[in-house]
């Protein structure tokens, strides 16, 4: 393989990545100017948020102390876990979801070099995303605390490289342990758990310390700060590097890049074999599966069962849904801790449940309504269009009710009134999110689930706003202010009315 062909392949990967980013911003390949304008506005908003968030941390470079070092380390750990989660998803997509793998394997170019370049592209993409998301916080630290904070970009690059290396190793280990048939699902679940682990862990510790759901209060505790190592400990090396210690920045970068290079060199040898195994799994299916058992449930029941089965076996959906469900662990723990203590955590927990239900229902409704992979088959079924729509909505509500019912039951043991409020608000949020998806329904494939929010910005913002409004109404009602709760209820209905006005077709 010549260097020219490798350069061409690198340019092609950059072109595909650029198109992917445009899809995230606009939903199609065109509209570069509008996409750039949207990105500028988003970055300005991030800088504004960062300016308020880092005000108390900017002076730590001149006056270091363990309390603020601990806060910065926790924030860096959260960012690194999110990088690892995203990198694992990217590696899994290379194995299972890229349509050009067969072309690569049949080309005269060495597959090892091409896969090595693609794995390096995953690390580069992770670094670019980290710069975009975390960069505004680094910039505001530099503005408020001095230019030495710009060395934090080197720490971000080291974090991204190490996260990509570990993601590649973890995916290969899962492939060896679970086999090609189960690795796709296992990798998505692990990525979801990793992405939420440190945030949920901090909240769990805060709850056990009777500090509610505030995740960073526990890190400000004098007991926790006293238990941290001294300032010269290696634990603080990333923070010290970010504050301008050039030797530490260089050391972290060299170590991370060496780890990434060794990982790519070793993994690229086996990547072609793994992709072939994954492709054979997709084409041959599950060997030894038991024959299907047909039950007479009627056309509508069969359609509901079909929707539920598709929702249950979609690994990309499971990872997204699991991420939302994992954030219900802290409210569940707070419920468990409140039993027998006379406390009433309903005003804190009910809004979380309602918000999670609305977001979950929106994703599931998109899959059932817009992500139908067999529209012609469904259209020829002996059912009217309204019956098909009802069956899909019923499947969505059932899928939302399954994880929510145990938590609502736990709330009922503490406060039956709060459980009733939660039930009504969860149904309202789920119905509102489903209605928005009906108004903005499109023709898409289930594989485009990750890009569903690019189809319509109005639908995306309307779905988020209506979930927030119903959550606020439920929280106010659970706190004993039903009249004030009518204000967010009116806001939710107003958002639905505005969404109906902007909808391309009124369902």
Count the neighbouring beta carbons within 10 Å of the beta carbon of residue 176: 11
pLDDT of residue 302: 73
pLDDT at 454 over 50: no
User: Which residue has tokens 């998803």?
Assistant: 89
Mean pLDDT of 444-451: 55
Predicted confidence at residue 416, as pLDDT, reads 87
* Distances, alpha carbon 418 to alpha carbons 211, 414, 430, 473, 484, in Å: 22, 8, 18, 12, 16
DSSP string, 90-143: HHHHHHHT-TTHHHHHHSSS-HHHHHHHHHHHHHHHHHHHHHHHHHHHHHHHHH
Two structure tokens written together for 178? 């679970």
Tokens of residue 350, six digits: 């009910």
Query: Tokens 């954030």 belong to which residue?
Result: 327
Cα gap 101→364, rounded to integer Å: 30
- For residue 276, the model assigns a pLDDT of 66
DSSP labels, 227-264: HSPPTTSGGGHHHHHHTT-HHHHHHHHHHHHHHHHHHH
Calculate the alpha carbon distances from 372 to 298, 363, 400 in Å.
20, 13, 19
pLDDT digits (tens, 9 = 90+) for 325-337: 666 666 666 655 5
Contact 27, 40 (CB under 8 A): no
Most confident of 21-25, 126-130, 314-318: 126-130
Distance of CA 431 to the CA centre of its chain: 23
Q: What is the pLDDT of residues 406-434, one digit of tens each?
A: 888 888 887 888 889 999 999 999 999 88
Would you say residue 288 has pLDDT above 50? no
Which DSSP string corresponds to 436-447?
HHHHT-----GG
Instruction: Note whether 27 and 454 are within 8 A (CB).
Output: yes
DSSP class of residue 95 equals H
What is the per-residue pLDDT for 452? 53
Tell me the torsion sign for CA atoms 11, 159, 315, 171.
Answer: positive
Asked if the model's pLDDT at residue 278 lies above 70, the reply is no
246 Cβ neighbours under 8 A, 6+ residues apart = 151
Indicate the pLDDT class of residue 89, thresholds 50, 70 and 90. confident
Cα 176 to Cα 98, 188, 376, 438: the distances in Å are: 21, 16, 39, 42
pLDDT single digits (tens) 190-236: 766 676 666 666 566 555 555 554 555 666 677 777 778 888 888 88
Residue 28: its pLDDT value, please?
47
User: Are residues 408 and 353 in contact, defined by beta-carbon separation less than 8 angstroms?
Assistant: yes
* 201 within 8 A of 213, measured Cβ to Cβ: no
Chain CA centroid to CA 310, Å: 20
**Judging by beta carbons within 10 Å of its beta carbon (0-12, 13-18, 19+), is residue 100 exposed, middle or buried?**
exposed
101-111: average pLDDT:
67
> 366 pLDDT exceeds 70?
yes
The helix (run of H) or strand (run of E) holding residue 328 is none
Considering 223-232, 240-249, 272-281, 432-441, the range whose residues carry the highest mean pLDDT is: 240-249
DSSP SS3 for 477: helix
Q: Residue for token digits 């080291």?
A: 158
Token look-up 């909808």 returns 503
Q: How far is CA 428 from CA 422, 424, 456, 469, 493, in A?
A: 10, 6, 22, 10, 10
DSSP-derived letter for residue 220 is: G
Average pLDDT over the chain reads: 75
pLDDT exceeds 80 at position 32: no
pLDDT of residue 425: 92
Q: How confident is the model at residue 103 (pLDDT cuts 50, 70, 90)?
A: low
Q: How far apart are CA 227 and CA 423, in angstroms?
A: 43
pLDDT of 289 reads 47
Q: What is the pLDDT of residue 114?
A: 77
CA distances 24 to 36, 98, 335, 389, 450, Å, are 12, 17, 38, 28, 9
Specify the pLDDT at position 99. 56
Q: Where are the domains of the chain?
A: 3-283, 298-502
pTM: 0.65
> What is the tens place of the pLDDT at every residue in 36-69?
676 677 788 888 888 887 877 888 877 788 888 8
Locate 129 and state its tokens: 């995303």
Higher-scoring residue by pLDDT: 503, 128 = 128
CB 371 within 8 A of CB 344: no
Model pLDDT, residue 286: 47
pLDDT of residue 428: 92
The token duo for 261 is 């290079």
């Amino acid at each position: 393989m010549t260097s020219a062909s490798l350069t061409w392949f690198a340019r092609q990967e950059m072109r595909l990545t650029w198109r992917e980013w445009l899809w995230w911003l606009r939903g199609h390949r065109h509209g570069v100017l509008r996409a750039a304008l949207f990105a500028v506005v988003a970055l300005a908003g991030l800088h504004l948020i960062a300016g308020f968030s880092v005000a108390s941390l900017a002076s730590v470079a001149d006056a270091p102390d363990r309390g603020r070092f601990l806060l910065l380390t926790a924030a860096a750990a959260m960012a690194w876990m999110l990088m690892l989660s995203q990198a694992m998803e990217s590696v899994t997509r290379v194995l299972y979801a890229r349509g050009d793998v067969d072309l690569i394997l049949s080309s005269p170019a060495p597959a090892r070099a091409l896969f090595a370049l693609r794995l390096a592209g995953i690390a580069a993409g992770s670094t670019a995303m980290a710069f975009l998301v975390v960069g505004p916080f680094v910039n505001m630290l530099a503005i408020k605390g001095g230019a030495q904070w710009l060395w934090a970009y080197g720490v971000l690059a080291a974090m991204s490289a190490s996260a990509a290396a570990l993601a590649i190793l973890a995916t290969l280990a899962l492939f060896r342990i679970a086999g090609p048939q189960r690795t796709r699902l296992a990798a998505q679940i692990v990525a979801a758990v990793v992405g939420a682990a440190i945030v949920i862990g901090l909240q769990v510790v805060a709850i056990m310390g009777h500090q509610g759901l505030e995740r960073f209060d526990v890190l400000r505790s004098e007991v926790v700060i006293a238990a941290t190592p001294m300032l010269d400990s290696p634990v603080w090396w990333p923070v010290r590097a970010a504050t301008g210690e050039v030797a530490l920045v260089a050391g972290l970068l060299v170590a991370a890049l060496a780890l990434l290079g060794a990982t790519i060199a070793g993994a690229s040898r086996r990547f072609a074999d793994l992709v072939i195994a994954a492709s054979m799994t997709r084409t041959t299916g599950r060997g030894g599966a038991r024959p299907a058992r047909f039950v007479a449930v009627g056309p509508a029941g069969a359609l509901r069962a079909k929707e539920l089965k598709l929702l249950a076996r979609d690994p990309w959906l499971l990872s997204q849904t699991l991420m939302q469900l994992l954030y219900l662990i802290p409210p569940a723990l707070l419920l468990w801790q409140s039993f027998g203590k006379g406390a009433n955590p309903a005003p804190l927990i009910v809004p979380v449940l309602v918000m999670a239900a609305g977001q979950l229902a929106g994703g599931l409704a998109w899959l059932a309504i817009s992500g139908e992979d067999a529209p012609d088959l469904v259209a020829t079924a002996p059912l009217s269009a309204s019956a098909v729509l009802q069956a899909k909505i019923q499947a969505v509500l059932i899928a939302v009710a399954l994880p929510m019912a145990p938590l609502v039951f736990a709330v009922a043991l503490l406060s039956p009134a709060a459980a009733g409020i939660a039930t009504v608000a969860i149904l309202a949020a789920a119905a509102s999110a489903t209605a928005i998806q009906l108004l903005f329904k499109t023709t898409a494939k289930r594989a485009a689930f990750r890009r569903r929010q690019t189809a319509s910005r109005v639908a995306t913002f309307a779905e988020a706003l209506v979930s927030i409004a119903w959550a606020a109404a439920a929280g106010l009602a659970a706190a004993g202010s039903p009249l004030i709760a009518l204000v967010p209820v009116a806001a939710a209905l107003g958002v639905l009315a505005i969404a109906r006005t902007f909808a391309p077709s009124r369902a």
